[in-house]
Amino acid sequence: MNKEQNSQNDGLSLIKVLTSDDGMLGYIMLTKNTEGSTAFSNEQLKEALIKNHINTGINEEVVLRLAQRPIFNLKIKVAQGQMAIAGEDGCLHYLVKRDSEYSPEYNENAEGLVDYKNLNYFQMVKKNQVLCEITKEKEGIDGINIFGEEICAKIGKEMVFSIGKNTLFSEDETKIISSCDGIVRFVQNKLDINDMLHIPSNVDFRTGNIEFSGDVIVDGDVCTGFSVKSDGNIIIRGVVEDAHIEAAGNLHISKGLMGGFRREITVGKDFNCHYIENAILNVKGDISADYIIDSKITCLGNIKLAGNKELINGGEISLAGQLSAKEIGTERERMTKIRIIGIETIDTIAVEKLKIKIQNGDLQLKVLIDKANQLNQSTLSEDEMPMLEKLQIKTLGKQITRLKEQLKSDVFEAKRLENELITEYCGCVIAKRKLHRGVRISFGDNIFQFELASLDRCKIYYDNGEIVQGVL
């Protein structure tokens, strides 16, 4: 071997190549020879990298500078791989709020009055309004390490969804837009726009009675004797007189309701109104208003008064939930009836325990019958059978009879409990200021009684078979 070859081999032995654990970074560390100085060529450094299988991501400029001006006993990064870039999943970005996120804002003036006229109780959109932006999935970019090995990128997931009623895709399919004016409604994860009927005036002789499958908006009043029926929501921006209103969804009356005890208001969900007087109401959801006077109301939800008066005076109110007001009744002890509706349920815990007991009894009965059958299969006659076996058969027979009788009794008891309804009173009455003596509160046949002229800041509720008077 000549001197040039020896010199080259010596140079390679002084070049140490290091790599990171993930194979993404490569380093060179140079060492001086025993004479204290060593020269390296660009080719020697590259040969050392190739000898260590590094063939990708080499920084030629750094290698050249290192050859020209060696740096000893330090790791110098000379190669770097390309990391894989993961793909992005497709997603939807809604520009409207979900039903549970949207709520009307109560704007109070300096006098503490709620502005029911400008209360946007429903989330409404216009035709061609953008409802949702669609981000499609993106493919990832594969990477490569310094050894030339490919690193596969994670693939983005496609967003699976469907458009709802009265919505459509934009031309480039990156947006969902409304195809009509309407009200936002989410049905599970699908966005619907309920189209609506807009009456820009009163409901009177000019319009006649209104009956519509979608939502209805009335800019004016609903006059005496007329009716508005909707399979959706109803918004009335004026006053409802002695009229018939029937809404399968929510009902909002901006100004107030002045009934005449002749026509009923029926609401499938929530009812919002400034005031309620002389009305007959049947509401399956919650009721919110400023005050209620001389009305007959059945409400399966809560009744919350919010505004300047927060007063209930006269009439009859039946509800399943919580009634909250500042003042209930009057100082003149005018009769105001409030009845908490009981919810009928069965004793599910007792029924479940009996069913488990019956199930275990059936298994035990099967074991006893199998034992009895095995003993009865003996080829010996009764006279030849040992006394012990006779006693075992007799004992098993008695046990089987007793267990059958017990199972029959348990099955009967379980059916009885399933048919026996227990009444629970979950509702309550809250008077944030005063509860006057003329107010009659009842939980079924139990009537709340008090001797004082009024009660201050109290909560009346039912617990363990008794009416309880709490303090706020």
Task: For 40-91, give the DSSP string.
Answer: --HHHHHHHHHHTT--SSB-HHHHHHHHHS--BSS-EEEEE-B--BPPPPPE
Count other C-beta atoms under 10 Å from residue 420's C-beta. 12
Model confidence at 6, pLDDT cuts 50, 70, 90, reads very low
Model confidence at 3, pLDDT cuts 50, 70, 90, reads very low
What pLDDT score does 394 carry?
A: 82
Q: Is the CB of residue 181 less than 8 Å from the CB of residue 127?
A: yes
Model confidence at 214, pLDDT cuts 50, 70, 90, reads confident
d(CA 78, CA 314): 89
* Helix, strand, coil abundance in the chain, percent, nearest 5: 20, 35, 45
Q: Is the CB of residue 330 less than 8 Å from the CB of residue 313?
A: yes
Angle 348-376/387-419 helices, nearest 10 degrees?
Answer: 160
Average pLDDT over residues 229-233: 90
β pairing state of 91-94 and 130-135: antiparallel
Residue whose tokens read 């970074």: 25
Average pLDDT over residues 22-29: 93
Average pLDDT over residues 450-461: 89
Q: Is the CB of residue 185 less than 8 Å from the CB of residue 192?
A: yes
| Cα angle 171, 175, 180; round to 5 | 85
Count other C-beta atoms under 10 Å from residue 74's C-beta. 9
Model confidence at 108, pLDDT cuts 50, 70, 90, reads low
What pLDDT score does 120 carry?
A: 57
Q: Is the CB of residue 436 less than 8 Å from the CB of residue 453?
A: yes
d(CA 340, CA 322): 9
What pLDDT score does 422 carry?
A: 77
Q: Is the CB of residue 83 less than 8 Å from the CB of residue 151?
A: yes
Answer whether residue 9 shows pLDDT above 60.
no
What pLDDT score does 109 carry?
A: 55
- Residue 118 DSSP one-character state: T
- What is the enclosing helix (H) or strand (E) of 400? helix 387-419
Percentage of the chain exceeding pLDDT 70: 90
457 or 389: which carries more pLDDT confidence?
457
119 or 287: which carries more pLDDT confidence?
287
Q: Where are the domains of the chain?
A: 3-80, 86-199, 347-420
- What is the enclosing helix (H) or strand (E) of 349? helix 348-376
| Cα angle 306, 227, 185; round to 5 | 60
Distances in whole angstroms, Cα of residue 124 to Cα of each of 121, 194, 215, 323: 9, 9, 11, 30
Model confidence at 5, pLDDT cuts 50, 70, 90, reads very low
d(CA 208, CA 123): 27
The pTM is what? 0.57
Q: Average per-residue pLDDT in the chain?
A: 86
Out of 67-81, 228-242, 295-309, 371-385, least confident range: 371-385
What pLDDT score does 114 carry?
A: 56
Answer whether residue 81 shows pLDDT above 90.
yes
- Residue 222 DSSP one-character state: B
Average pLDDT over residues 16-37: 86
**Chain segment 156-205, per-residue pLDDT in tens:** 888 877 888 899 999 888 899 998 887 788 877 788 888 878 888 899 88
What pLDDT score does 121 carry?
A: 58
